[in-house]
Chain A
């Protein structure tokens, strides 16, 4: 199985396009990238969008694109969704239920274009809706936020292992450095640790610059059999391994917040691929908040448990040219974060790295295998994917 075509819409602030247009722009780019025709697509998978009025999203997108898939659905497991869609596509192809599967994800949660259907709800109202997370009776009355779930993990890691806010800030600084090398990233101005620490406190220990940005935009890619992939325009990027584990939805039930389900997802992906951490050339960790790359460096075996904070210190080991470059496109921190769809950019970046087609000095030299992971909810759903060259 291989990923053959990749495409992105305009990203950042895109007030003139609704989510369906963003999906279609990315899809068109992905088709052009590999030379397939939209008539070749017989599987369509999407992550849906935030707008709760948009039901049967993958069917709506198929209609918009003028394709009639054999295999289609939308899936919602937060930031873990995109890799779960890849797993689903691979299974469908393996079972003969599809030959060419389009995976597309986009949203407009910065400009809220197309959200007029949420009648009477202002942009602030939608933001309130998005940030109201947790159990109606046993969590929401206490005023938690999505960010607070990650802050709870960060505070626990700081307590158990002496991780510091400066180390959290270093993640934001290094990831921003990568975004500064990316031609279309939303936030491209380099930042210092002091600036990150001084940014507005949101949910201690996480300040604003340690959180995801809010964006419009989307991406798409196409999965097909390796046999089919070898006839197309560009070198196929191979699916070498994948894994997934879902724990609990509510943060109060997840249990251990700093030894995450990524351990198990990673174990599966390593076993399937026959690779280990030493074979991985770069890691597109799901960086929704600055604590997560620190946890994932540990949970995927790039350092011992508890060493993640010290591992990122100074940034050299996690930046391009370092031991294990992470989030090489700038990720949720700086490249593009339209909510659930944002994980699609981590996969697209990995494909670019493995093809060796990344612009300028952002290219990881000799990239032969890359790890991507996904995280949905509040440490709830974990996915891992290993991609490699043919």
Chain B
């Protein structure tokens, strides 16, 4: 198999549980026990109230496309064979937004508001990257 050349996430002390979970095809977001906010991407403090007691909760991995773009000129050579590829902002049902790729669909068939669901792409033995595809059933 050809080596994966695109940037690979490097888990840190805060994000390690997230990346451990994606290896098991689970998508985690953070929930604040103090103010109830949910947040993605993860960080040590709650962006709502600065609590540092954030908990991980599992997302069902379903959402809708807030917007998308089809990238013809990638940021680096490693993405060139993928171009044109779709980058979207996904509003997941639990109330957070994620930037991701929208895959398993022709870029010209992607629509704002399209229902999507998560899938996990194993890019290295350590990292599975969550991406989104059109939802198969509602």
**In the complex, B72 has a CB within 8 A of chain A:** yes
Interface residues of B (CB under 8 A from A): 6-12, 15, 19, 40-41, 66-76, 79, 82, 84-85, 87-89, 97-101, 107, 111-113, 123, 129, 131
**With A159-B67, A201-B72 in contact, do A137 and B6 touch (Cβ < 8 Å)?**
no
Asked whether A209 is an interface residue with its Cβ less than 8 Å from the other chain, the reply is no
Enumerate chain B residues within 8 angstroms of A202, measured Cβ to Cβ.
71-73
Contact A139 B99 (CB under 8 A): yes
Query: C-beta contact mask, A150-174 vs B, less than 8 Å → 1, else 0?
Result: 0111011001000000000000000
Q: Which 8 A-B pairs have the closest CB atoms?
A: A151-B69, A159-B112, A204-B70, A138-B41, A156-B67, A137-B9, A252-B99, A143-B79
CA distance A137 to B9 in the complex (A): 4
- A250 vs B11: C-alpha distance when bound (angstroms): 18
Contact across chains for B113 and A204 when beta carbons are under 8 A apart: no
Residue ranges of A at the interface with B (Cβ–Cβ < 8 Å): 128, 131-145, 147-148, 151-153, 155-156, 159, 200-206, 250-253, 255, 257
A203 touches B113 (CB 8 A): no
B8 in complex: contacting residue of A141, A144, A250, CB < 8 Å:
A141
List residues of chain B with CB within 8 A of the CB of A153.
67
**7 extra interface residue pairs, beta carbon distance < 8 Å, beyond A136-B10, A139-B99, A143-B75:** A145-B74, A201-B72, A203-B70, A252-B40, A252-B41, A253-B97, A257-B67
Instruction: Give the Cβ gap from B97 to chain A, nearest Cβ, in Å.
Output: 5
Among residues of B, the one whose C-beta sits closest to the C-beta of A135 is B41
Measured between beta carbons, the chain A residues less than 8 angstroms from B131 are: 142
Inter-chain CB contacts under 8 Å: number: 117
Alpha-carbon separation in the docked complex, A132 to B84 (Å): 17
Question: How close is A273's CB to chain B, nearest CB, in angstroms?
Answer: 33
* In contact, A142 and B74 (Cβ under 8 angstroms): no
Q: Which residues of B contact A144 (CB under 8 A)?
A: 71, 75, 87, 99
Distance in angstroms from A325 CB to nearest chain B CB is 30
Contacts of B6 in A (CB 8 A): 141, 143
B98 to chain A, nearest CB (A): 6
Does B68 contact A142, Cβ atoms closer than 8 Å? no
Nearest Cβ on chain B to A260's Cβ, whole angstroms: 14
Q: Determine the chain B residues whose CB is within 8 A of the CB of A251 once the complex forms.
A: 89, 99
Report A-chain residues with C-beta under 8 Å of the C-beta of B67.
Answer: 152-153, 155-156, 159, 257
Inter-chain contacts of A204 with B (CB < 8 A):
69-72, 84, 107
What are 8 contact pairs spanning A and B, CB under 8 A? A141-B129, A143-B74, A143-B76, A144-B87, A145-B73, A203-B71, A252-B89, A252-B98
